Amino acid sequence: MKKILVIGSLNADMVVRVPHIPVAGETILAETVDMIPGGKGANQAYAAGSLGAQTVMFGAVGVDRYAEIEKKSLQSVGVDVSRLLVRTDCATGLAWITVNDAGDNSIVVVPGANKTLSEKDIADNDDLLHSCDIILCQLEIPIQTVLYAARRAKELGKTFILDPAPAPKLFHSELYAYIDIIKPNETELSLLTGKDVSDYESASDMLRTKGVKNVIVTLGEKGAFVNSESEGKHLVPARSVPVVDTTAAGDSFTAALAVRLASGSSLLQAVRYATEVAAIVVTRKGAQTSIPSAAEVPFDDK
């Protein structure tokens, strides 16, 4: 199996269970609160490791208990955390996540050390990009750092996958040309293209014209839409499941996609597998705590 490098964020997630997401000015009583290892980058690395891929996590943390919790969680599924950068002048990232009775969530992130990850950090660790085959990025680290990593991945002939979350107000158009696979959800795709959330087919066409080889749009309970340079357009349905918590579903989808591609599956096979993994994640509480092992995922490549 090919090796996966995840470049991105690590956050300690404070997950608050509420009957409904509060509106502006509203005070409500929470049911429970849990501290769970998270961050979009760490979630992807954890999922890739849990699903059996050789995985390296590269990012920045502070000198605090949250950093140790993050590292131990990733190490528990075999992720290499030896190259994480430790900042002495800022804390590990934190996220406050409210989850309602329907399983929907609202998230506020304090980036902390994540916002310090720089182009120079990537350049100083160029050997990591050389040694890995598939590189995953998200947007909880500076966009300039992501752009540099994508450009370098292109130069080295690596497969670069971007999960454009959280969708930025300003997106460097140059970045599109370096992306092999982009995986937005409907809302993120709308923010990137200016098109209505229901118009995901033409919106994905727009990203293809900007240079992206493959666009995969996650559609929640409807599954995923694939617009591929090599495999055309397909709607991959999702299995109907009871939704408990959607946290980390998108991260797990992206990681599962990379894992199957690393093992030699076609893009469509990988999307089908990723859809199944995400369906399991939403039936469980938390971020990394909701991610299944490879043995838990019923899947047939046929």
What average pLDDT does the chain have? Answer: 94
Q: Band of the pLDDT at 4, cuts 50, 70, 90?
A: very high
Can you give the pTM of this predicted structure? 0.93
- The whole-angstrom separation of Cα 55 and Cα 79 is 5
pLDDT tens for residues 6-62? 999 999 989 898 999 888 899 999 988 888 899 999 999 999 999 999 999 999 999
> What residues are annotated to the active site?
251
Please report the pLDDT score of residue 301 as a whole number.
61
pLDDT tens for residues 248-302? 899 999 999 999 999 999 999 999 999 999 999 999 987 788 999 999 998 666 5
Please report the pLDDT score of residue 32 as a whole number.
86
Contact 231, 268 (CB under 8 A): yes
